[in-house]
Structure 1
Amino acid sequence: MRIILGVAGGIAAYKAALVLRLLTEAGHDVRVIPTVASLEFVGRATWEALSGQPAPSDVFEDVPQVLHVELGKTADLVVVAPATADLLSRAATGRADDLLTATLLTARCPVLLAPAMHTEMWEHPATQANVATLRSRGVHVLEPASGRLTGADTGRGRLPEPADIVAAALALVGGAAGPRDLVGQHVVISAGGTREPLDPVRYLGNRSSGRQGFALAQAALARGARVTLVAANVTLPAPARADLVTVETAAELRDAVRAAALDADVVVMAAAVADFRPATAAETKIKKRPDGSALVLELVQTPDILAELAVERLRAGQLVIGFAAETGDGDASVLEHGRAKARRKGADLLVVNAVGAGRGFGTADNSVTILDARGDVVASAAGSKAAVAQAIWDAVAALR
């Protein structure tokens, strides 16, 4: 597939190198068009070395080939990462003052823009109006992520992770000729980690970022599914074309998943759901005790959503896939705990991964073992969460 990767002039331009690498490793022909400003951050030699092709910026480069028309007309997909506030403005108003914006005007293929800028710039009414204009014309504009920005700033406006950008982009064109085994299927996926209120300020939660669940959603979309994504406390950009339902607590997640699962062909419980919640939530902030004495919390168990779904099967023929984030202990290893849970839960597949000490939660990569309802290993996968997601869907396809 012929892909144009546009790179605008922001500090996040260095991350576009990984976007390029992921696209080329997937077998695509990628041509990079950097803006002149972006070359202040990443030099032209980098783009040409990684892509194996020239990386022009100016409309007057290679005039006989009429690049400012030809590149857009022959592309199968255009991705711009990062898309700065300036780039969004110029694209929304139809400017064509460099090769990238001219290419955007001539492109008739799907276009994905991945914004990156400071929070104040993203939230400014002018930027929001430009985004609305672009979306009204059919351009796919991702929501920026939240996190560390330039300098000491933290907030919304961070470039989404390269793997998430690539997954969203390829989903627009059917996953780049990958399997389309979920066409006509409704898939419900839970992602993130629930939070159980302790008082108006505090909560009991976990470290799940939701990345694996979102990667599963992107992969399912690329395979042709209609996706409902139930997200608990996630700051990731919503996958293009997924129906997003946001929740906070285990009870809210249970209600949302069960409602969506009534007509679902596959339910994937990838969210890290709290096993316990406070028996009561204080109406006011709990204060420290003057005498320094300990605070005793009474916790009650939350419903086992996965086990419920596995038993009830809210739709005939429904497949239920579970996740088990485990740590080994003196009683058993991660895999042994996973086997016991697989037999206990009754899901069609249980995806087991080791978490803790920089593994599993919040990381770009993952490593999983996939078990059947008997606890037998049917597959394993390691690598980016996008790659792991594809392996999980391959395992699901084998059940059909």
Structure 2
Amino acid sequence: MKVVLGVSGGIAAYKACELLRLFTESGHEVRVVPTREALKFVGAPTWAALSGNPVSAEVWDDVHEVPHVRIGKQADLVVVAPATADVLAKAAHGLAGDLLTNTLLTARCPVVFAPAMHTEMWQHPATRANVETLRSRGSVVIDPAVGRLTGADTGPGRLPDPAEIFEVCLRVLRGRPRDLVGRKIVVSAGGTREAIDPVRYIGNRSSGLQGYALARTAVARGAEVTLVAANVTLPDPAGAAVTRVQSTAELREAVLAASEDADVVVMAAAVADFRPAARHDTKIKKTDGEPEPIRLTKNPDILAELGERRRQRSGGAAVVAVADVAVPGGSAMDVAGAKGVPAVIVGFAAETHDVLANGQAKLARKGCDLLVVNQVGEGLAFGTPDNAATVLVAGGDPVEVPFGPKEDLADAVWDLVAARFA
């Protein structure tokens, strides 16, 4: 694949070297097109040496090859990282004063922008309007990360990790549809931990890999994603707003708050069914004889609560995100949007036996639209890069997803979700 890496004039330009390395080492041919300002941070010889291709910021170099048209027309992907407020504005308004902006105008392939700037610049109404314009035209604009900026400032505006930008670009190169543009999606991931004392806890083996795959693929398909991560050590997916939690109670609070204005909620986290009835304030010391038993109590069922809240807020009728379902006052989608409840709820069920039977019972009991059922155990699902599942569909036939990368299962889920909005 031919990739154009545009680099604009921000301090994060040096991080684009890592993104370039990831593309070249995975077999892509990369042409770096920096702005004049970017060359003040990283020089042309560096880009040329790392890419193996000539580097210029000017339309007047090698004019006989018409680079201002040829580079964009021949590209399979254009990614601008970092994308400054200036470049976003020029791209949104069709300005073409250098080789990069000319390339953006002539490209007919997918375009990904990874903005990086100070918080005030990112939040300015002009920048927000430019971002919305670019997204409305089909470009992928990855929301910046939150963290340390230039100097002592901290906030949204930091360039996401280059490896995570690369993951979004790979998904865009796979040609997945931009069918979640404008949708607000909440994904939970990881496994909750219930404290026994300040040292010990009850937990599970979930790594968060499946939830993170769902978040990454949703970003690549155009969604605004909030990821609620329970005890996950993975890097934040580029473009997703991440809320970190530990216990089931914290996960519940974060998911319910985020779901108030969400179109879709996906409960991919492995939530502990039980917690200790009492938490010890100090470490339980080992003594002679058998330890005192730990009495457990049930945790709230967050997935069932989401389904019940939706049922109650929609006038007692089950809300299913299918356009032709008749409900009082309009379509089911209208009711969901008006009542502040998600139009589509997706659950996950990890089972060790009687997988489909247990899954069907849960689908009916939880009130969700889709339930992803998979078998777990030693070497299955938890902590592995691959997964297989059956997606149970309320009012429809099950969908089998064969064993493969967790990104494939994520895309299969989003295909089913997007179809319910169609």
Contact preservation (8 Å) 2:189, 2:230:
yes
Q: Which residue of 1 aligns with 2:92?
A: none
In 1, distance between residues paired with 2:213 and 2:29? 25
- Work out which of the residue numbers 199, 202, 205 in structure 2 matches 1:201: 199
Q: Which residue of 1 aligns with 2:392?
A: 371
In the TM superposition, residue 277 of structure 1 has moved relative to its aligned partner by 0.4
Contact preservation (8 Å) 1:379, 1:395:
no
- Work out which of the residue numbers 216, 219, 222 in structure 2 matches 1:218: 216
Matched position secondary structure for 2:3: strand
In 2, distance between residues paired with 1:370 and 1:139? 37
Q: Which residue of 1 aligns with 2:369?
A: 348
Q: Which residue of 2 aligns with 1:325?
A: 350
TM-score computed with the length of structure 1 as normaliser: 0.63
Matched position secondary structure for 2:26: helix
In 1, distance between residues paired with 2:53 and 2:396? 59
The share of aligned pairs that are identical, in percent, is 49
1:167 equivalent in alignment to 2:167: yes
In the TM superposition, residue 379 of structure 1 has moved relative to its aligned partner by 4.0
In the TM superposition, residue 112 of structure 1 has moved relative to its aligned partner by 6.7
In the TM superposition, residue 2 of structure 1 has moved relative to its aligned partner by 2.9
In 2, distance between residues paired with 1:293 and 1:375? 52
Letter in structure 2 aligned against 1:297: I
1:20 equivalent in alignment to 2:20: no
Q: 1:79 to 1:226 in 2, by over 3 A?
A: closer
Q: Which residue of 2 aligns with 1:301?
A: 298
Q: Which residue of 1 aligns with 2:340?
A: none
Q: 1:3 to 1:190 in 2, by over 3 A?
A: same
In the TM superposition, residue 264 of structure 1 has moved relative to its aligned partner by 1.1
1:380 equivalent in alignment to 2:401: yes
Q: Which residue of 1 aligns with 2:251?
A: 253
Q: 1:194 to 1:358 in 2, by over 3 A?
A: same
| Cα RMSD, aligned residues only | 4.3
Greater shift, 204-213 or 373-382, is seen at 373-382
In the TM superposition, residue 399 of structure 1 has moved relative to its aligned partner by 2.5
Contact preservation (8 Å) 2:165, 2:238:
no
Letter in structure 2 aligned against 1:265: D
In the TM superposition, residue 360 of structure 1 has moved relative to its aligned partner by 0.6
1:141 equivalent in alignment to 2:160: yes
1:361 equivalent in alignment to 2:387: no
In 2, distance between residues paired with 1:371 and 1:112? 36
Contact preservation (8 Å) 1:193, 1:274:
yes
Q: 1:349 to 1:388 in 2, by over 3 A?
A: same
- Work out which of the residue numbers 308, 311, 321 in structure 2 matches 1:311: 308
1:178 equivalent in alignment to 2:203: no
Contact preservation (8 Å) 1:310, 1:347:
yes
In the TM superposition, residue 263 of structure 1 has moved relative to its aligned partner by 1.2
Q: 1:175 to 1:271 in 2, by over 3 A?
A: farther
Q: 1:392 to 1:381 in 2, by over 3 A?
A: farther
In 1, distance between residues paired with 2:25 and 2:274? 39
Q: Which residue of 2 aligns with 1:43?
A: none
In 1, distance between residues paired with 2:71 and 2:379? 44
Greater shift, 208-217 or 268-277, is seen at 208-217
Q: 1:190 to 1:295 in 2, by over 3 A?
A: same
In 1, distance between residues paired with 2:158 and 2:224? 20
- 1:20-41 per-residue CA deviation (whole Å, 9 max, x = no partner) reads 27xxxxxxxx2169xxxxxxxx
In 2, distance between residues paired with 1:65 and 1:359? 57
TM-score computed with the length of structure 2 as normaliser: 0.60
Structure 2: 5+ residue runs without aligned partners?
A: 7-13, 32-49, 56-60, 82-98, 105-110, 116-147, 315-334, 337-342
In the TM superposition, residue 307 of structure 1 has moved relative to its aligned partner by 0.7
Q: Which residue of 2 aligns with 1:272?
A: 270
The count of residues paired between Structure 1 and Structure 2 equals 305
In 2, distance between residues paired with 1:185 and 1:310? 19
Letter in structure 1 aligned against 2:29: R
Contact preservation (8 Å) 2:160, 2:239:
no
Q: 1:178 to 1:110 in 2, by over 3 A?
A: closer
In the TM superposition, residue 347 of structure 1 has moved relative to its aligned partner by 0.8
